[in-house]
Amino acid sequence: MSAIGGDAAIAVDVDQDARVMREEESFGASETSPLLPTSEVVDEEPELNDNLNKPWLGSPEFDAKPWWRRPNVWYLIPPTALFTFAVGGSVVPKINLVLSIVCRDYFADQKAKDPTFTYLPVIFGEENDQCRIPQVQSNAAQILLYVNLISGFLSALVSPRLGDLSDRYGRMPLMSLCVAGTLISEVFVTFIAAYPDHASVNWLLVAAFVDGLCGSFTLALSLVHSYGADWKVLDVFLAVLVLHGIYLFTLFFLIPESLSKERQNIARTKHLAKPQEGDANFQRNFLRELHPYNIFKPLAILWPKPSPSQSSPEKRALFRKLRKNLVLIAAIDTLMFGVGLGTVQIIILYAEYVFGWGNYESSVFISVVNGGRVITLLVILPGITRLIRGPTRGNQVNSGSDWLDISLIRLAIFIDLLGYIGYAVSKTGGIFTLSALVASIGGIGPPSLQSSLTKHVPPSQTGRILGAMGLLHALARVVSPVIFNGIYSVTVGTFTQAVFVCLASVFGLAAFLSWFIIPNVHLPESLPSSPSEAEDNTTIDA
């Protein structure tokens, strides 16, 4: 679903606290360490470590509260389920709304150019066979491309900063901000659905701007269910507004904050102690953050360097293998994420154009495919893992990717490759749906990749490496729709399935890269105590 639950609630046990203490001594990191690396090393850091970098062993603030006001990950599940229902329920109607508006505008333009031109009126929320033409499909794909480009670019800029702010001001306010952005963006979509005869499709670009500016929720990609097949178009978006509103209200007013005031204040104190935060020139700081070097600097965790104490030939060889694995796994994960994100809208557009599907057929397709993905993730993947590895005993240590991890990654890529080849050669809607079900089994890939990636680093570095992957995912959200929507808009009507041929080629590249992953390679537990020893933290001013 998303990484919300992991950030929102903190579970503490004695073994974990002891592990945190040991890591604190080796790494100089604590619960208040931000998810992404700081931009410079502070001279006063050693003085602050004694007071601020102590391990988090629970807070009396939580102990004094009643049980129902203490943070718990289970509190997030019901409202997050509502959120995913809202997202999934609006996907197909939103695409068809764009198609209808683009179709109306296209025929209106043709009428303006040629007064003798006649066409059937476009009825919103109904089947419009006259809109199933290449020109309308191409224009709709371009509009969806612009929407994803705006939202994805802003999300890539904002998401790492919001993750950093959540360490200082708590999880709930930042999560509420993201949901508020989604809610406001849906207000614009609902306005378009309520007044389709007068509203411009450009309002969707405004909605994408607001959604991206607040971080967006790119992790909620699995569409759990698709409602609204028999609903009116406006009813769908009104229901989505209500569900988003319930989610926002629950996050902001009902779910307890997982980060105590004490830890928030400590994080703010550390942040204010850094020289760059004391600079009064806000514009200079803002431009520094926008410098390409600083935008991509979180990716430095994927290229670790040995410290002076780790300069032996054996250690250097180990770090070379480690860098190779981290880059390969991150690249494969980004490719698979980009394909999954960039094809959701294209698959619906393609199926409705080639097979003549409407809201009902598209909604059933989404529900069936994601039902298969849920079964894969909840039954098949855990079953395979438990059958081969057996029950988990004790705390897991970082040991790199084992043969099972690598085998699951290769299997997932191969299954996805078969699914997208099936998309390209399908002549009927049934074969197309069967290909989608095959591709849904490839859903074992992303969790296997994420798990494998975190096994390469100690627990104290997990947040940083997942933050780096969050940045890559946000960038994929920008690049992927540009490429695939562009291909579809150019080839629709001539070689419409060309986009699926290109997507299958991407999986072929991922399959090739997967054979270079080296098993049982991981970052040593004894890391450099200073970030400056591990990576170049020089900040470039804009």
Helices (H), 195-279: 203-213, 233-249, 261-272, 275-278
Distances from the Cα of 506 to the Cαs of 327, 491, 500, in angstroms? 17, 18, 10
**CA pair distance 53, 19, nearest whole angstrom:** 15
Length of the chain, in residues:
542
Domain 4-534, classified CATH 1.20.1250.20, yes or no: yes
Phi first, then psi, for residue 347 (nearest 5°) are -60, -45
Per-residue pLDDT at 67: 67
Helix (H) or strand (E) holding 484: helix 462-491
Per-residue pLDDT at 265: 65
Contacts of 11 by beta carbon, 8 Å cutoff, 6+ apart: 73
Per-residue pLDDT at 246: 55
Per-residue pLDDT at 261: 60
DSSP structural state of residue 539: P
- Number of CB atoms found within 10 A of residue 64's CB: 9
pTM score, whole prediction: 0.63
- Number of CB atoms found within 10 A of residue 458's CB: 21
To the nearest 10 degrees (0 to 180), the angle between helices 381-389 and 403-425 is: 150
CA 245, 248, 252, 256 torsion: positive or negative? positive
Tokens representing residue 55 in the block: 């391990």
**CA pair distance 315, 274, nearest whole angstrom:** 33
Per-residue pLDDT of the chain (542 residues; tens, 9 = 90+): 333 333 333 333 434 444 444 444 444 444 445 544 444 444 444 444 444 444 444 456 556 667 666 666 566 667 766 776 677 677 778 888 888 888 888 888 888 888 888 888 887 777 778 888 888 888 888 888 888 888 877 877 776 666 666 666 766 677 777 778 888 888 888 888 888 877 788 888 898 888 887 766 553 333 223 223 333 444 444 554 555 455 555 555 555 554 556 655 665 666 566 555 444 444 455 555 556 556 777 788 888 877 776 677 887 888 888 889 899 999 999 999 888 877 888 898 899 889 988 878 888 888 888 788 878 887 888 888 888 877 665 555 566 778 888 999 999 999 999 999 999 999 999 999 999 999 988 888 888 888 888 788 776 666 677 777 877 887 887 788 888 888 988 898 889 999 999 999 999 999 999 999 988 887 765 544 334 444 443 333 33
Tokens representing residue 345 in the block: 């809208």
In contact, 537 and 38? CB cutoff 8 Å: yes
DSSP secondary structure string for all residues of 93-152: HHHHHHHHHHHHHHHHHHHHH-TT---PPP-TTS--GGG-SHHHHHHHHHHHHHHHHHHH
Per-residue pLDDT at 526: 52
- Number of CB atoms found within 10 A of residue 12's CB: 13
Phi first, then psi, for residue 469 (nearest 5°) are -70, -35
Tokens representing residue 346 in the block: 């294209």
In contact, 369 and 433? CB cutoff 8 Å: yes
In contact, 326 and 302? CB cutoff 8 Å: yes
Per-residue pLDDT at 513: 93
Per-residue pLDDT at 256: 56
CA 196, 198, 200, 203 torsion: positive or negative? negative
DSSP secondary structure string for all residues of 346-401: HHHHHHHHHS---HHHHHHHHHHHHHHHHHIIIIIHHHHHHHHH-S--S-------
**CA pair distance 542, 531, nearest whole angstrom:** 22
Q: Where are the domains of the chain?
A: 4-534
Cα-Cα-Cα-Cα torsion 139, 96, 144, 337, nearest 10 degrees, comes to -130
In contact, 495 and 379? CB cutoff 8 Å: no
- Chain-centroid distance, C-alpha 89: 19
To the nearest 10 degrees (0 to 180), the angle between helices 403-425 and 313-354 is: 20
